[in-house]
Structure formats: structure tokens, C-alpha cells
Structure 1
Amino acid sequence: MKFLKAIMKFFKVRVLLWLVLLVVVLAAAGTGVAFATGGLNALALRSLFTSSSHERDSQVVQSVTRLQEVALLSLHIEGISRHESNGEVLGMAIPASEKTTLIQYQFDAKLGIDGSQVKIEPTGPKSFRLTIPPFIGIGFDKPTFEDPLESNNALGWLATPAVETRMVNNILSDENKQKYISQNEVALKEQAKVFYSGLIANVDPEITVEFVFSG
């Protein structure tokens, strides 16, 4: 009788143990499904907000041109570029809507000639005529531009903001190159004479040179 009760108790305990194990397995499976589902949802949500970008610059050299530019002068230029604008209504300026933008800059402007255009003509046994072509702006070295400074009146936010790249392009424009040439034309002519007279004197000190400037 005792033996029978012990057997029944054993099976009763085994049944309870299997029930506990079954609940644990189901709970673990449910957690795994929830985790997987949540993980997938997180991945799906993350995919909605991710982005990718790339830049590509393709260049092809179309031609190569040999230059014989001769730099005669280098001007160190420093200045401040100023841009002013106003807000407008129907073409009429709005009072107190002025906006001023300043950019401080410095660079070296190189001026000279295209050496391939220099003409040399003999005028006697030991004399030559050199015709110098028009002076040109060769380029700008070491350009430096400070960050722009803005000054606004009370309604300055109505004014069109300055475009920094446009201001820089105006500073380095061909028009400004020509202005530097006009302002330094005498010095350019003198330097051209010194430069070519020195070259010819190294060949034959007795040669005389007449200079003619075109343009």
C-alpha cells in the first residue's frame, strides 16, 4: 500500500515538473519571438531613417597648352570688400532694412606679358627692336579671405544676403586685373626693359635695344 502511494506521488511530481518545464519553454519561445519581432521592427524602423550619400568628380584633360608667361611685377594687395543691400516693397527701399557685409582679403597679383608674343627685329649690325605685347594679369598667389562680417539694422533681415562666392569672384575679376595694370603701367614698362636688356646683355653687351610697347 505504501509502495503504491509512493508511485502515485512520484508520477504526480513528474507531471507537475513537466508542466513547469512546458511553461518555461513556452515563455522562452514567446520571449524569443517578441525579441525577434521587436528586433525586426527596430531594423525596419531604422531602415526608414538611414541615408547614404557619395560624391564623384570626373575630369578629363582635353588639351595642354604651353605658356611662356613672364611675370614682371608682383603686387601685394590688401583690402576690404563691402556689400550693401536693402529690403524693398514694390521697388521702394524699406527704412532701417540695410544689411552690410564685409570681407577682408589679401593676395599677391602677378602682372606681366606673354613672352611668346614678343617680337625681335634687327635694325642694324648690333641693334634690335623689341616689340612688347600688351600687359596681362597672370594670376593671384596666396589669396586669403577672412570670414564675412555682417551688420544689420532693425529690419536688416528683410534685405537679400550677400553671396560670398560672388564677392570673392568680383575681387579676383579680370576687371580688377586690368585696373592693376593701368595703375602700374610705368613700372611694368621699366621692368620689361630691365628684364630683356639683361637677357641680351648676357649674350652680347654691345647690342643696343629699342623697345616698342603695343596695346
Structure 2
Amino acid sequence: MMVRKFFKAKIHLWVVCLIGLLVISITLVGVFFGKSKMFDVFEESNETQVVTAMKKQKEVAVLGLSVTDIYDKSQATTFFGLDVPFSEKTSYLKGTFDAKLGFDGKQVKIKQSKVDDNKYTIIIPSFVVVGISNPKFEVVDSKGEMLSFVTENIDTHDLANKAMSDKTLKKYIKMNKEWLEEQSQTYYEGLLRKIDSNIKLEFKFE
């Protein structure tokens, strides 16, 4: 009589027990073979967090420089395409400014290892100047040859603009490349290890 009441109960306790046993069995089998779905979900979530953290970055500055340099420009008067002898004029411009070097975070690529789900390769694009501030330029010296009075004065504003052009600033990137690479690694290691302290990272630079 008690058995019949048990199977006729409104909440169907026997169904609940059967489902509970089934869930426990599946979980134990998954853990035994290392393929439990609960572990797959964690890995997918972790990968998503890593990718999201990478995508949030825009222009990333990893190195700041205070630059002081001397720039010079010479010009002479020409006559029918030939330089007039002794007409050369030269100006020396002292320039100081602060520059931030880094890379475009949107161009960073992330690749997950095919053999180790917890290992990632971070591919960082070419370094660029991401910002310049506090520029100051002044003429510190000028000189001219005997007939330089026939030559126009040098446009120091144009010289200052060229001093801060991408072409000129590339030399500072080249001079500090090793430091930039080191700082970039430190930056992403600190960022991504907040998500997973056991993450393995490999870096490549374009």
C-alpha cells in the first residue's frame, strides 16, 4: 500500500530520484574521462574573457620619452638650376617634446594553442608614436656664407613640423625597440594574468 502511494504522489518523488541518480552518474563519468561539460564551459568562458580584454584596448602607450634634439636645415639660392656659390644659409633648431610610443591595440592578434587550451600567442603590430605633447622649438644658431644674404630665410616652422613627422620619429622607435617589446610583454602579462594566473603567453612582433 505504501509503495502505491509513493508512485502516486503528486510530486512524483521516484522521478526526482531517478533524475538525480542520472545526473550524478553522468558527472562522475565525465570527471573520470576528463571530458565533463562543466570543464568545457569554464574553458570557453576563460577564452572569451581573454579575447574581450584584448579587444577593449585601442591605442596602447607602453613607453614615454622626453626628447631633446637639434635639427638643421641648409639652403642656397639657385640660378638656372645651379647653386649660386657661397650663398648657402643654415639654421639650427633645438626641439624638445614628450612622445608616447606604443601600438594600435585593435591590430593585436591572439591565437589559442591547438595542443594547450591555456596557452596563447599574442602578435603585436609595428610600433608607432601614439602621442606627442609639450613641443617647444627655438633657433639656437644660424650661419651663412659670404653671399648668403641673397638666400631666403629658412622656414623654421616647416623644420619643426618635419622634426615631428612620422618619418623622423621612426628613429626613436628603432632606438628603443627592445625596451618597447619588453614593456609590451609586461603590459599584456599583467592584463591577462588578472583573468587567469596560470595562463601561458608567447609573444611575436611584426
1:195 is aligned to: 187
Question: What SS does structure 2 have at the residue aligned with 1:205?
Answer: coil
Aligned to 2:124: 132
- In the TM superposition, residue 148 of structure 1 has moved relative to its aligned partner by 6.0
* Residue 3 of structure 2: aligned partner: none
Question: Separation in 2 of the partners of 1:213 and 1:150?
Answer: 43
* 1:83 corresponds to 2:73: yes
Which residue is equivalent to 2:104? 114
In structure 2, the residue matched to 1:209 is 201
In structure 1, the gaps of 5 or more residues are 1-65
> In the alignment, what sits opposite 1:71?
61
Which consecutive residues of structure 2, in runs of 5 or more, have no partner in the other structure? 1-55
Q: Deviations over 1:26-79 (max 9, x none)?
A: xxxxxxxxxxxxxxxxxxxxxxxxxxxxxxxxxxxxxxxx98100011122111
Aligned equivalents of 1:151, 1:131: Cα separation in 2: 49
Match of 1:159 among 137, 141, 151: 151
Higher mean alpha-carbon deviation, 70-79 vs 90-99, is at 90-99
Normalising by structure 2, what TM-score? 0.65
Q: Which has the larger radius of gyration?
A: 1
C-alpha distance in 1 between matches for 2:75 and 2:109: 49
- Residue equivalent to 1:144: 136
Contact 1:148 1:164 in 2 (8 A): no
d(CA) in 2 for partners of 1:171, 1:192: 26
Cα-to-partner distance string for 1:56-115 (whole Å, 9 max, x where unaligned): xxxxxxxxxx98100011122111111112233333433332211111111122110111
Letter in 1 for 2:183: Q
Deviation at 1:147, TM superposition (A): 4.0
CA RMSD of aligned residues (A): 2.1
Identity of aligned residues (%): 34
CA–CA separation in structure 1 for the residues paired with 2:177 and 2:110 = 21
Give the aligned length: 149
